Amino acid sequence: MFCRHAMITNVISAGPQQTTRDALELFAKHRIRMLPIVDGEGRLVGQFALEDMLAGLLPAALTVDHHDLMDLRLRLDYLLDATPGVAKHFRDLLPVEIGEVMNREVKLAHLDTPLWEGIRLLVQCRSPIPVVEEGSHKLLGLLSAQGATGRLMELVGELG
């Protein structure tokens, strides 16, 4: 069983010249959290994830795990009203081209990547995995947790 058997092919993607605002509109319209970013020839050049964007809005001190904060006994009183700064940073990010802020280090699968390896990547990345054509990097589909699970359920006879 390979990733080709569990991937979706009707993928919503964006180009690197589109803005963060455009990406947010696609997220809302299609109820997705990640966009593969493709060039004019359909080759994957990166990805833009909602969680990555939100993490980039936060002051660095707020991205520290709460258990680490307890261990370090840091005082963060000055951050209690950080929301206006986060909102300003968000507003400033809206017109920025996705190509400037996208993740360029994307874990990939190919059509003939074993499904177990695709599942390992899903667990590691917690995001859909782009499936690309070997050599050209042309985007062919996405392997999602739902797609992998659905295929496995079909294999064990749980779905019609």
5 DSSP 8-state letter: G
DSSP string, 126-151: SS-EEEE-TTT-BEEEEE-HHHHHHH
Q: Residue 63, class by beta-carbon neighbours within 10 Å (0-12 exposed, 13-18 middle, 19+ buried)?
A: exposed
Q: Is residue 121 part of a domain?
A: yes
Tell me whether residue 38 is in a domain: yes
- Give the pLDDT score at 160: 55
How far is it, in rounded angstroms, from Cα 160 to Cα 157?
A: 7
Residue 151 domain flag: yes
CA distance 95 to 18: 9
* Residue 27 lies inside a defined structural domain of this protein: yes
- Domain contains 123: yes
More confident residue, 63 or 157: 157
> Residue 61 sits in which domain range?
3-155
Q: Is residue 108 part of a domain?
A: yes
Does 160 reside within a domain?
Answer: no
Whether the pLDDT of residue 151 is over 80: the answer is yes
If one counts the domains in the chain, the total is 1
Q: Which residue has the higher pLDDT, 79 or 57?
A: 57
d(CA 46, CA 15): 10
Q: Domain with 41 in it: what CATH number?
A: 3.10.580.10
Tell me, yes or no, whether 77 lies in a domain. Answer: yes
Q: Is 150 exposed, middle or buried (0-12, 13-18, 19+ CB in 10 A)?
A: middle
- 138 vs 93, more confident: 138
Task: Please write the tens of the pLDDT for every residue from 108-144.
Answer: 999 999 999 999 999 998 889 999 999 999 999 999 9
Give exposure, 17-47, as e/b (b: 16+ Cβ within 10 Å).
ebbbebbbebbeeeebebbbbbbeeeebbbb
Say if residues 8 and 89 touch (Cβ distance below 8 Å): no
Please state the pTM of the whole predicted model: 0.81
% pLDDT > 70, the chain: 81
